[in-house]
Amino acid sequence: MTADPRPVVRLRPKADPRPVRHGAPWVFADEVVLDRRTRALAPGTIATLEDAGRQTLATVAVNPGSKIALRVLDRDPGAEIGPDWLRARLAAALDLRARLYDAPFYRLVHGEGDGLPGVVIDRFGDTAVIQPNAAWAEAALGPLAEALAEVTGVRHVLKNAASRARALEGLDDASAVLIGQAPDGPVPVEMTGATYLADLTGGQKTGLYYDQRPNHAFAARLARGARMLDVFSHAGGFSLAALAGGAEAALAVDGSAAALELAEAGAARTGVADRFATRRGDAFEAMEALATEGARFDLVVCDPPAFAPSKPALDKGLRAYERVARLAAPLVAEGGFLMLCSCSHAADLARFRQASVRGIGRGGRRGQLLRTGGAGPDHPQHPMLAETGYLKTLAFRL
């Protein structure tokens, strides 16, 4: 939060101002005049952006030490980024989720897609977890948490600092309780007919993956009366939905004992523990072992971590996705289904689909592509930022 007069930052003479005028939310360091004055600005400083001809463009947050030097907060160059502004953005985000969901369990803020660049907020009833993944959000964290509590009525607000994006912004990894208190244990979340347990303080990300909700529902339809395998299962996202939807049995595979414990507890709460089993270990090794054992499943779902989190990791990540498909395909019974997922924004849909199809072929199978899915509507995409549409799912019948 910076009082006027605000500093001014300027685009380089060769930088095209049209993307910002048309709504682009980021300006990279090589497009900005990073003189001594601009480099001296504290990360998160609010400034006015001008083009090379000194025409005002937008209100931005500056981080001179980041590759993303500017994040566009408001197209209005005179916008005041204060409590009223924060409340208005949060109220708009809340209105959308209230129309979409009957219960207050969802992603409330999806960064640039909700006009709050670098900010992720997941809601778990009366508790919200903020990931402030940009320097401006870290600087405004107190007012942001207060506005969040005021707009939504949540009584507890936690900060999760585990995102790798924070390191790119020069931020620490210290999580904290901002308002109220942390829950005593995992929080139950009812979703897609199942009850999941979200660890808001020690789990992955903010505690639960809301983004796969519509894909869980589709998998549950495929798994009715069937045997399913959930690889990279985390807290049982796909397997618990499948069992709640009438699957005969499900096996969840993950390398984390804590995640599998949450999955088992969720299965018990859902009333499907008698049809649920887990196997802890490396997912690739587990799939190879299952093939050796002659195991076959009517539905196999693979939802791995981001193998290609950045462009330098793209080639290696695509090879990993191909390997997943190659090992998973032989585990699918004839006429069964294979769902493959990627949360890597660097691997676009075309590349991910190509790697998956190649892996299925190398696994000795062929199939029909039934459905291409993405994240649920509580993860709105910014139309000029592909990173907000990171999640991709492919459903095949083999």
Q: How confident is the model at residue 309 (pLDDT cuts 50, 70, 90)?
A: confident
State the average pLDDT over residues 307-326: 92
CB 47, CB 37: distance < 8 Å: no
Residue 2 reports pLDDT greater than 50: no
Q: What is the pLDDT of residue 163?
A: 86
Instruction: Using the predicted structure, report yes or no on whether residue 205 has a pLDDT greater than 80.
Output: no
341 flagged as catalytic: no
Judged by average pLDDT, the poorest of 154-158, 307-311, 384-388 is 307-311
Across the strands, what pairs with 28? 68
Share of the chain above pLDDT 70, in %: 98
Look at the alpha carbons of 5, 23, 387, 144 in this order and tell me if their dihedral is positive or negative: positive
pLDDT at 171: 94
For 163-174, what is the mean pLDDT?
Answer: 90
Please name each of the domains of the chain with its CATH number. Answer: 8-74 (2.30.130.10), 83-179 (3.30.750.80), 187-397 (3.40.50.150)
**Helix locations, 257-313, DSSP H:** 257-270, 283-292
pLDDT of residue 46: 97
Tokens 């900005």, located at residue: 32
| Residue 100 predicted with pLDDT over 90 | yes
pLDDT confidence tier of residue 206, bands split at 50, 70 and 90:
confident
What is the predicted pLDDT for the residue at 310?
Answer: 82
Q: Which of the residue ranges 16-20, 96-100, 198-202, 264-268 would you say has the lowest mean pLDDT? A: 198-202
Alpha carbons 336 and 396: distance in angstroms, whole number: 8
Distance CA 350, CA 337 (A): 20
pLDDT of 357 above 50? yes
pLDDT at residue 1, as a whole number: 46
Answer yes or no: are the C-beta atoms of 131 and 148 closer than 8 Å. no
Q: Are 388 and 379 in contact (CB under 8 A)?
A: yes
Distance CA 171, CA 192 (A): 36
Rounded distance between C-alpha atoms, residue 5 and residue 7, angstroms? 7
Give the span between the Cα atoms of 354 and 22, in whole angstroms.
32
Among 32-46, 162-176, 360-374, which is the least confidently predicted range?
A: 162-176
Query: 252-307: per-residue pLDDT in tens?
Result: 999 999 999 999 999 999 999 999 999 999 999 999 999 999 999 999 999 999 89
Catalytic residue among 243, 343, 394, 398: 343
Question: SS3 for 158?
Answer: strand
Question: pTM for the complete prediction?
Answer: 0.94
- Of the chain, the percentage scoring pLDDT greater than 90 comes to 91
Q: How far is CA 315 from CA 163, 302, 327, 392, in A?
A: 23, 19, 19, 17
